[in-house]
Amino acid sequence: MPPLFPFELVAPEKLIFAGEVEAVVVPGAEGEFTVLKDHAPLMAMLKPGVLEIDASGARKTRLFVRGGFAEVSHAGLTVLAEQAIPLEDLDAAQLDADLKDAEEDIADAPSDEARRIATEKRDHLRELRAALRI
């Protein structure tokens, strides 16, 4: 069994994951990277994408993360994410319907501020949709 190290995934709402893991694949802003035990210290911004936790052998957890940062230190890996959603909680058909609604909201926006908010929502939904294709 590969060596384990401490990992925590924290989102604003709650602690999503805390435990010993074999590896974590992180969607860094500069590119995806894998953290193993004794990884060199590192701070990285996150880009929207899939974070994969390899907790033990065959058990892997995949989550969509958006925004935040990762810190690797001698104490392990901590990821602070603006949002973290398990991929199994995402429904492709619902996302497609929400995307269509968001496009309509952009077209019907009565002001620049409403259009900006609707555009942000659409972009977020596109990121979620793209995560399902991985």
Whether residue 103 sits in one domain with residue 45: no
Which residues have CB under 8 Å from 124's CB, separation 6+?
A: 66
Domain hosting residue 96, numbered range: 91-132
The number of domains in the chain is: 2
User: Which of 98, 81, 84 is CA-nearest to residue 131?
Assistant: 84
- The reply to whether 27 and 41 lie within a common domain is yes
Q: Are residues 119 and 53 in the same domain?
A: no
Integer Cα distance of 62 and 15 in angstroms: 15
Encoded tokens for 20 = 């010993």
Tell whether 12 and 71 lie within a shared domain: yes
3-59: per-residue pLDDT in tens?
A: 899 999 999 989 999 999 999 999 999 999 999 999 999 999 999 889 999 987 667
Q: 33 and 45: one domain? A: yes
Both 31 and 56 in one domain: the answer is yes
- My answer on whether 83 and 110 are in the same domain is no
Q: What percent of the chain has pLDDT over 70?
A: 97
Coil vs helix vs strand at 94: helix
Q: pTM of this prediction?
A: 0.80
Same domain, 105 and 68: no
